[in-house]
Structure 1
Amino acid sequence: MAAAPGTLVRQCLAVVFFFVILVSSTCHSPAAPLKRSRKSTTIKEINRKGPYIGLITVYAPEEKAFFATKAFKSDPKQPFVDLAGRRFRVGKVHDSKVIYVKCGIGLVNAAAATQQMLDVFDISGIVHFGIAGNANSSMSIGDVIIPKQFIQTGLWDWLKPNATVDSSDFGEVDVGEYNVKGKGKGMNLLGKIEYFAEQFYSETGKPNEPQSLLWFPTSPRWLQLAASHLQGMKLERCVNSSLCLPNEPKLVVGLNGSTADAFVDNAAYRDFLFQTFHVSSLDMESSAIVMTSLSNDYPVIVIRGLSDLAGAQEGENQIKVFGSLAATNTAKAVIQFLNVYQRNYISHYL
């Protein structure tokens, strides 16, 4: 029996609609897969030339200081790959093959960029560098430190004033201890801050059973390499011809570092962190990069230049004055480490 005229019209419209959708999807949908395919091909070509040392810094002034050394030479064929908004630059620092990225400020940015680098590229280890606040009165602005371990001091519970702190946790700030001078100690409605450890997942641990860790160590063999060859290296003392530090900056290996999603510009809190956790540097990324590297079972080292006194100075924070000098000294130390690594590590430490 023949179909009714209305039915035929509806069928014809359905066929036309189907072909419109088909043509539209054919014209537009392959763009993203094609872009990914091109990136995948580029990444494969880059990885054939590996492995590379991954270099991770944080923000523009540190990047500027690093490139100002002119030690980094871009790969002539594949100079960079853009992934999720970050530019991963491919090249060499003298004889060391490197992939460099600026991760962005904070723990999330640092962990995301590190995991992305380890997942995508043929990486043999991570060198993280940047500037940091100084929590140690025996250190000075312009000094460079290469910590042996990091603590994440952004993990804490904010408790009521009369709360009891769990004895299994690692630190406590009683805000009442820091009341206005002359009024003495006492009750303060801001209460207490109780610190606790990080949950650490790793390749070498049991799946879905994280360890509870407070400290995350940098790689002992890389630390030993830095201690043997970088301590005593000459660092810059002057920002310019009219602004110099009173003493020659020094590089120290083996201190403790602290990371949290907070810029510290408060002398009392700075002193609390030093006295409680014995940390010398305060930054916002290092522990995330160290933790992510260790979680994936990669060696990692951190090089941080001290740019300010984290609130112990009079007046405004000195990062605006000496931040560029600290970044310059950090970049010099990174270049020196890569040179030493290339000459010594491959033959003596693997």
Structure 2
Amino acid sequence: MGGQVKPCLVLVFTFFLLVLASAVSTNRIKFLKQIREVNRRGPYIGLITVFATEEDAFFASGSFKPDPKYPFIDLSGRRFRIGQVRGREVVYVRCGIGTINAVAATQQMLDVFHMKGIIHFGIAGNTNNSMSIGDVTIPKQVAHTGIWDWVNPNSTVDPADVAQLDIGNYNVAKRNGTNLLGHIGYNKEQFYSVSGEPNVAERLVWAEITPHWLRLASSLEGIKLEQCVNSSLCLPEKPKLVVGLRASTANIFVDNAAYRDFLLQEFGVSSADMESAAVVMTSLSNGFPVIVIRGLSDLAGNQQGDNAWIKFGSLAALNSVKVVLGFISNLPHTTTATS
């Protein structure tokens, strides 16, 4: 009896697998058909934000017009929204916090959709005392400041490090000058791109924003930005747009005045965030134009009391959206990935 049941179970299991494979194959074919149809409407401008506050500001602007047939396509847990902004075809996605999420979402967008280039926007911490909360920065260069060699106090310094952070320098009580946390050496990034040799990395610190997009952004410096969150909460000065500074990215939420000052002194950056360098390097690696637009929501730890992004995050996000919309309006309809 047992010998007869076993072949039956094998047949049932095999039939189940065939049905499952057929369903998966059918869904795959349907998905690929959708992508083909969507891409006929391209090429698209890619819009990438990070979290809900930035997304809310973008959709609250009322500028996004969803595609009536394919308003979105879901990929690996992310929703890529297809539509138009200011008459331009766009694909929008909220990537999630951190460099890994930023890389994954950007690469998915570039792999699946017919793209022109990427606009990455949202909020950031302000590390430059000449800038203010509510200002918007469009950097010309972005560094990934999250590649560390964390070494012991008496270890030999790597001459290839681009900067050194000696933690002992920040002791309140020196304790004979010894700090067991040692020091951190900052490494260069390994950058692979379609324009380089296969499997050969370029060593770089600064990823360059696409020059012709940066020049186009310079024409927006007179744009009017919002000063008030509401009738009872306003900034002391009118925010401004600044183009051409430097930005840093690491998987670190910077809310520490000493580290903020270190980033400014050693790298000369005016903003700190957790995604921009990842989006920029992924876009450039694939040969696509890219620009970063970030509203400054806080002083990255240089403020008194709680981090100011709780109060001004929505305002900073709104101002970044206003600049994004202005930039999209100025983009030539003929912009291509190689122009």
TM tier, smaller: over 0.9
Indicate conservation of the 8 Å contact 2:140/2:245, yes or no: yes
Q: Does 1:226 align with 2:201?
A: no
Aligned to 2:118: 126
User: How far does residue 103 in structure 1 lie from its aligned partner after superposition?
Assistant: 0.2
Superposed counterparts of 1:21-170, under 5 Å = 21-170=13-162
Aligned to 1:265: 255
Q: Which moved more, 1:256-265 or 1:13-22?
A: 13-22
Answer with 1 or 2: which has the greater Rg. 1
Indicate conservation of the 8 Å contact 1:95/1:342, yes or no: no
* Whole-angstrom CA distance in 2 between matches of 1:283 and 1:185: 35
* Whole-angstrom CA distance in 2 between matches of 1:272 and 1:313: 16
Question: Deviations 1:33-90 (Å, cap 9, x if unpaired)?
Answer: 2222211111110001100000000000000000000000000011000000000000
Q: Which moved more, 1:27-36 or 1:305-314?
A: 27-36
- For 1:266, the aligned partner's letter is N
Percent identical residues: 58
* Whole-angstrom CA distance in 2 between matches of 1:124 and 1:346: 7
- For 1:324, the aligned partner's letter is S
Question: Deviations 1:86-134 (Å, cap 9, x if unpaired)?
Answer: 0000000021110000000000000000000000000010000010000
User: How far does residue 270 in structure 1 lie from its aligned partner after superposition?
Assistant: 0.2
Aligned to 2:291: 301
User: How far does residue 165 in structure 1 lie from its aligned partner after superposition?
Assistant: 1.5
Question: Deviations 1:307-343 (Å, cap 9, x if unpaired)?
Answer: 0000000111101000000000001111110001146
Question: Deviations 1:120-170 (Å, cap 9, x if unpaired)?
Answer: 000010000010000000000000000001001100111111223222210
Q: Which moved more, 1:23-32 or 1:321-330?
A: 23-32
Residue 139 of structure 1 aligns to a residue whose secondary structure is: coil
After superposing on structure 2, the runs of 4+ consecutive aligned residues of structure 1 that deviate more than 3 Å are 12-19, 182-185
User: How far does residue 14 in structure 1 lie from its aligned partner after superposition?
Assistant: 6.0
Question: Deviations 1:280-320 (Å, cap 9, x if unpaired)?
Answer: 01000000000000110100000000000000001111010
User: How far does residue 346 in structure 1 lie from its aligned partner after superposition?
Assistant: 4.0
Give TM-score scaled by structure 1 length: 0.93
- For 2:213, the aligned partner's letter is W
Superposed counterparts of 1:211-250, under 5 Å = 211-227=202-218, 229-250=219-240
* Whole-angstrom CA distance in 2 between matches of 1:320 and 1:184: 37
- For 2:315, the aligned partner's letter is L
Question: Deviations 1:174-224 (Å, cap 9, x if unpaired)?
Answer: 1111011x6588221111011010111111111111111111001000000
Aligned to 2:182: 191
User: How far does residue 19 in structure 1 lie from its aligned partner after superposition?
Assistant: 3.2
Superposed counterparts of 1:329-340, under 5 Å = 329-340=319-330
Of 185, 189, 192, which aligns to 1:201? 192
User: How far does residue 29 in structure 1 lie from its aligned partner after superposition?
Assistant: 2.9
- For 2:183, the aligned partner's letter is K
Indicate conservation of the 8 Å contact 1:176/1:185, yes or no: no
Q: Which moved more, 1:160-169 or 1:203-212?
A: 160-169
* Whole-angstrom CA distance in 1 between matches of 2:261 and 2:309: 18
Aligned to 1:210: 201
- Compared CA separation, residues 116 and 185, structure 1 to 2 (3 A): farther
* Whole-angstrom CA distance in 2 between matches of 1:15 and 1:166: 65
The runs of 5 or more residues in structure 2 that have no matched partner are none
- For 1:296, the aligned partner's letter is N
Indicate conservation of the 8 Å contact 1:179/1:185, yes or no: no
Indicate conservation of the 8 Å contact 1:96/1:342, yes or no: no
Residue 29 of structure 1 aligns to a residue whose secondary structure is: helix
Indicate conservation of the 8 Å contact 1:178/1:185, yes or no: no
Indicate conservation of the 8 Å contact 1:238/1:325, yes or no: yes
Aligned to 2:245: 255
Aligned to 2:163: 171
Alpha-carbon RMSD: 1.8
Q: How many equivalent residue pairs?
A: 338
Q: Which moved more, 1:153-162 or 1:216-225?
A: 153-162
Indicate conservation of the 8 Å contact 2:163/2:186, yes or no: yes
* Whole-angstrom CA distance in 2 between matches of 1:271 and 1:120: 41
* Whole-angstrom CA distance in 1 between matches of 2:158 and 2:267: 17
